[in-house]
Structure 1
Amino acid sequence: MVIEMGLVLAACSSNSGLSQAKTQTMNTYVSNEISTLDSSKYGDTTSSEVLQNSMEGLYRFDKNNKAILAGATSVKHSKDQRVYMFDLRKNAKWSNGDPVTATDYVTAWRRTVDPKNSSLDSDSYAIIKNGTKITQGKAPVNSLGIKALGKYKLQIILAYPIPYLPEILEGAQFYPQNTKLVKKLGSKYGTSSKNLVYNGPFTVTGWTGSNLKWVYEKNPNFHTRITPTNGYLSFNIKKKVTGNVHIRRAISQAIDKQQLVKTILHQGKAANGIVASDFITDQSTGKDYRQDAGDLVTYNPKNARKEWNLGKKELGKEKINLELLTSDVDDSKRVGEFIQSNLMKNLPGLNLTVKSIPLKSRLANTTNHNYDFVFGTWQPSYEDPLDFLTVGGLFNLQPDYHNDNFWHQINMAKTTYATNPKKRLQALINAENQLIKKDAFAAPLYQAGVSYLLNKKVTGFQLSPYGNVAYYWNVKIK
C-alpha cells in the first residue's frame, strides 16, 4: 500500500493560482487484502481501515481519539435522547464533485439493514428504531429510523437512548454512500476503487478487486469552502439602454452561472440572489437567509430573450451595442469574456465589447457613471442582509435608485421592525425582490470559493468566516 500526501500549505482564491505542492510518499503494509469497499458489506479490518481513511461519516475521531462532528455541523436531540437532528456540512463533497446529502446516509443505512444484502454489520443497527426487525425480515426497509428532512438535514430515531452514540456512528458501517452511484452500479458498487467515490481525506486508486496493492491519494476536495464574497454585475441606470428594466432583466437571466463556476472559476457556486447563502442565519426561522428568500434570478435564456425583445421594442432598436467594464486582472477578464459569449449567443442583436482596465480606473469610471454595466466582486463587512442590500458593491445605489417600495422596506427593517425578527425578515426579502428580481438593478453571478492544501504537520490553522483571511494565531508545526 502506498500513501501520497501534500507536504506544504498552499492557498487558492479567485485572484491567485494554486501553489505547487510537493509530494511525499509513504510505503506501508497490512496483514490482509481488501475484501470490499462497500460499507454495507465489509466484515474485515483491512477493508474497514481503507474505508475509514477514504470516507467520512457524521463523526470522526480527533487526535485524542474523541468522537467529534465531521460530516455534520451541529446536532440536537429530544429530551428522551431518542430523536437526533443533524445539520450536515453544506460544503462536503464526494470525490466526483457531488454534494454529500442526507439522502446519501439514508441510502447507505437502508442497504446495510436490508436482508437481501447479507451485511455482516447489520447487527450494529439494533440501536436504530426497527433495525433488528428489518434485518430479521419482520419490517420493511423504509421503516428504519432514519429520514432526510431536507438536502442537508438528517433525522435519526434510536431504539433506546445511547450515551455513547458519537463513538458508534464514527464506524464505517454508518458512512454515507453516493446515492446516484449506488443506483448506477448496483451490485458492482465498491467492488473496485473505480467503482466508488470518496468523501474522506484520501481517495483510493489501483485496487481492481483482487490485487494486493493500492494507493491512498490526498483527496483534492477535502479542504474547500464557499465564501460570502459575491461576483455580480451592476448596471448604470442613467444610460438609455441599461436604464431599461427589460434589458437589465434579460442580461440577468442570459448568463449560465453554473457553467461559469464550473469552467472558468473552478470553485464557488452560482448565486441567484444578491445576499449570500450559507452565511446569515435568520433569528425568526433558524434557517439560512437565502433559503428563506429563495432563488430570485436563475439562468433562463427563453425568458431572457422575451425580456430582450420587450426592451428592444421600447427602445426602438434592433441592434444594441454595450460595453462591459471589468478590472484587468486575469480572472476578471476571463469572466468578462465568458459573459460576452453567453450574452451575444442568447440575446439576438447584441454587440458586446469587454473593456478591462486597472482596478483603480474601473472604480473611478463607475463613480463617474462612465460605464454601461460592470463586473465586480464584493466581500461583506458584517453578517446581515442589510450589508448586501444597501452596500454590496451596488454602485450608485443611493443617488440613482429611487424605488419607493425598496427604500420603505429597508427603512422598516432598520427601525420599526428592528426588534421583530419575523417582520424584519419579510421586509428584507421584499426589498431584495424589488431590487434584484423586479428592477434588476444588479445581477448576481456567483459566490466565490476557496480551497487549500494543508500539511498534516500543521495544526491550529483557521480561516475567517469570510473565507479570505488565514488566521495563524494558533498554528503549530508537529
Structure 2
Amino acid sequence: MTADDYVYGWQRTVDPETASEYAYLYGYVENGDEIIEGDKEPSELGIKAINDYELEIQLDNPTPFFDNLLALPSLFPQPQDVAEEKGENYAKTGDDSVYNGPFTLTEFEGAGSDTEWSYTANEEYWDKDNVDLDKINVSVVKESSTGLNLFNDGQTDDVVLTGELAQQNVNDPEYQSIKSARTTYVEVNQEDENSPFKNKDLRLALSYAIDRESLVDQVLGDGSEPSTNLLPQETGKDPNTDKDFTEVSESTLEYNPEKAQEHWEKAKDELGIDSLEFDLLAEDTDSTKRVGEYIQGAWEELEGMKVNSTTVPFTARIDRSTEGDFDAVVGGWGAEYADPSTFIDLFESGSAYNFGKWKNDEYDKLVEASSTTHVNEPEERFQDLIEAEKVINEEMGVIPVYQKAEGHMVSDNVKGIVSHSAGPKYDYKWVSVKK
C-alpha cells in the first residue's frame, strides 16, 4: 500500500460515475462538491501523493472533525490494478474485494442474497502476530428465538436479542447491551405544499402521542433509551465543560396524551378536516415491525386518525424514502463520526438525506454558520449546533423516538470484542476464544 492508493481510491469514490452514496463525505475536500456535481474532474480533488508514504490533503474549509472522517471505510485506500481488473464486479463479493486489515471477507456471495460468510485471518496483515482468531463465521438469523436456541446449544457465540427475549435474559451474566450513537426517528412527508404534515400542530400531536419510555421497555427491551432530542449520546461534547451534547441541549420531547389531543384538535381546525388517514412505512425486521406497530397504535388513540402500516425490506425502505414515496416512515441515522454535525447537517433544506423535505430558514442559517462563520471558533460553533437542534425539536421537523442499543448474548469464552458508538461498529482484532 502506498499514498497513490489513497489518491486513486478517493478520486474513484468521489467520481459521479461510481455513484457512491457516501461521496458527500468528500465535500469537505477541495473541489469535492464540484466533482460530485459533475462540474470538475476527479483528478482535481484536493489530494496528492508527496511520495510513497506521504499525502497532502487540501480542504475547502476548516473541518474540525476531519481526522474522524479518515477512520471511515469510505476514505480507505483502493488499489487501482485490482479495481480495474474486477471492473463492475469490484467489491461485490468477498473474492472481488481486497484487504489490508486483520481479516479478509470470505465465502461472501453478495449483499442482499447471502446469509452466511466468514472473516478469515489475513496472512498479509502487518500486525498478524497480535491477531488470535483464525476465522469468524457469520450467519444471518432473522428471528431472535432461533438465534437464542443456537446460542444455548453452543452452536454460536454471539447473537442479537430483541423484545421479550432481551427482557427475559437481561440479568443473565452473558447478556450485554451495546449502545450505538444512532437515533431512530419518524419522518413525515412535507414535500407537497398541500401535505397535512406541513402543519406544526399535527407534527407535535404525533410526537406527544408516543410513549417512548414504554416503547423501549416493553417493545424493545434491549437497552435502547428513549430519545430526549434528535441527537443521541456520544455524538459530541461541550468544548468548555466536556459535557455530552445531550446533557447541554434542552429536551422538548415528552409523552403527553392531553397535549397530543390538544394539538390534534388545533391541526384539524387549521387543516379543515375531521379525520386523517395515512400510511406508516417501516422495515420488515422483527424489532422495527414491532416499533411500527406500537407507533401505529399510539397514533390511532387520537380520535379520527387512521394509520395503515406497511413493512418492506431495508433496501426497499431506503429506495422509497429517497424517492419520497411515503407518508410517514420509521427511519434513523447512525453517527458516522463523533460530532453533532453528523446529525444536524442531515436536515438542511437541501440535504439529500432530508427525506421528509422539512424546511426552516433559521435552522439553515445556524447550520451554515457552524460550518463557515464559526467553524474555527469551537464555543460559537457548538452554540450554533445547540440552537439548530432546539429549532428542529421545537418545530418537530422529524420525530425522534429512541437511541438504539443491541441486546447480545455473548459467550463467556469470548473476550476482547471492541464496539464503537460512532462509525464502524465492531473491531475483532483483539478477540480471543478460551478453549
TM-score of Structure 1 vs Structure 2, range by shorter chain: 0.5 to 0.7
Q: Would the aligned equivalents of 1:386 and 1:428 in 2 still touch at CA under 8 Å?
A: yes
CA drift at 1:469: 2.9
For 2:174 and 2:319, how far apart are their aligned partners in 1? Answer: 40
User: Which residues in structure 2 correspond to 1:320-469 (within 5 Å)?
Assistant: 320-345=276-301, 347-391=302-346, 397=354, 400-437=357-394, 439-466=395-422, 469=425
Q: Would the aligned equivalents of 1:15 and 1:331 in 2 still touch at CA under 8 Å?
A: no
CA drift at 1:253: 1.3
Summarize deviations over 1:13-54 as a string: whole Å, max 9, x none.
Answer: 997625343389xxxxxxxxxxxxxxxxxxxxxxxxxxxxxx
CA drift at 1:458: 2.8
Residue of structure 1 equivalent to 2:177: 224
Alignment length, in residue pairs? Answer: 278
Residue of structure 2 equivalent to 1:19: 148
User: Which residues in structure 2 correspond to 1:22-37 (within 5 Å)?
Assistant: 22=152
Q: Would the aligned equivalents of 1:14 and 1:449 in 2 still touch at CA under 8 Å?
A: no
Report the secondary structure of 1:391's partner residue.
helix
For 2:142 and 2:335, how far apart are their aligned partners in 1? Answer: 17
CA drift at 1:454: 3.4
Q: Does 1:294 align with 2:250?
A: yes
Distance of aligned partners of 1:314 and 1:395 in 2 relative to their CA distance in 1, 3 Å threshold: farther
Report the secondary structure of 1:397's partner residue.
coil
CA drift at 1:247: 0.6
Q: Would the aligned equivalents of 1:276 and 1:290 in 2 still touch at CA under 8 Å?
A: yes
For 1:13 and 1:228, how far apart are their aligned partners in 2? Answer: 23
User: Which residues in structure 2 correspond to 1:85-100 (within 5 Å)?
Assistant: none
Report the secondary structure of 1:323's partner residue.
strand
Summarize deviations over 1:54-100 as a string: whole Å, max 9, x none.
Answer: xxxxxxxxxxxxxxxxxxxxxxxxxxxxxxxxxxxxxxxxxxx9xxx
Residue of structure 1 equivalent to 2:241: 285
Distance of aligned partners of 1:457 and 1:364 in 2 relative to their CA distance in 1, 3 Å threshold: closer
Match of 1:247 among 202, 212, 215: 202
Report the secondary structure of 1:473's partner residue.
coil
Q: Would the aligned equivalents of 2:235 and 2:340 in 1 still touch at CA under 8 Å?
A: no
For 1:416 and 1:375, how far apart are their aligned partners in 2? Answer: 34
Gaps of at least 5 residues in structure 1 are 1-8, 25-96, 98-201, 204-217
For 1:400 and 1:376, how far apart are their aligned partners in 2? Answer: 14
**TM-score using structure 1 length:** 0.53
User: Which is greater in Rg?
Assistant: 1
Summarize deviations over 1:239-291 as a string: whole Å, max 9, x none.
Answer: 42112111111101111111111111112110021111244222222100000
Distance of aligned partners of 1:299 and 1:374 in 2 relative to their CA distance in 1, 3 Å threshold: same
Q: Would the aligned equivalents of 1:10 and 1:453 in 2 still touch at CA under 8 Å?
A: no
Taking only aligned residues, the RMSD between alpha carbons, in angstroms, comes to: 3.2
Q: Does 1:264 align with 2:219?
A: yes
Summarize deviations over 1:412-457 as a string: whole Å, max 9, x none.
Answer: 11122222222222211111111122x2110000011123333333
Aligned-pair identity (%): 25
Q: Would the aligned equivalents of 1:14 and 1:448 in 2 still touch at CA under 8 Å?
A: no
Q: Would the aligned equivalents of 1:340 and 1:354 in 2 still touch at CA under 8 Å?
A: yes
Q: Does 1:470 align with 2:426?
A: yes
For 1:282 and 1:11, how far apart are their aligned partners in 2? Answer: 39
For 1:15 and 1:464, how far apart are their aligned partners in 2? Answer: 23
Distance of aligned partners of 1:399 and 1:19 in 2 relative to their CA distance in 1, 3 Å threshold: closer
For 2:211 and 2:137, how far apart are their aligned partners in 1? Answer: 30
Distance of aligned partners of 1:14 and 1:307 in 2 relative to their CA distance in 1, 3 Å threshold: farther
For 1:335 and 1:279, how far apart are their aligned partners in 2? Answer: 24
For 2:142 and 2:198, how far apart are their aligned partners in 1? Answer: 31
Distance of aligned partners of 1:257 and 1:467 in 2 relative to their CA distance in 1, 3 Å threshold: farther
CA drift at 1:369: 2.1
Question: Which letter does structure 1 place at the counterpart of 2:368?
Answer: N
Q: Would the aligned equivalents of 1:380 and 1:392 in 2 still touch at CA under 8 Å?
A: no
Distance of aligned partners of 1:411 and 1:395 in 2 relative to their CA distance in 1, 3 Å threshold: closer
Gaps of at least 5 residues in structure 2 are 1-135, 155-166
**TM-score using structure 2 length:** 0.58
For 1:467 and 1:364, how far apart are their aligned partners in 2? Answer: 23
For 1:13 and 1:419, how far apart are their aligned partners in 2? Answer: 45
Residue of structure 1 equivalent to 2:189: 236
For 1:408 and 1:305, how far apart are their aligned partners in 2? Answer: 33
CA drift at 1:356: 1.4
Q: Would the aligned equivalents of 1:11 and 1:452 in 2 still touch at CA under 8 Å?
A: no
Distance of aligned partners of 1:456 and 1:368 in 2 relative to their CA distance in 1, 3 Å threshold: closer
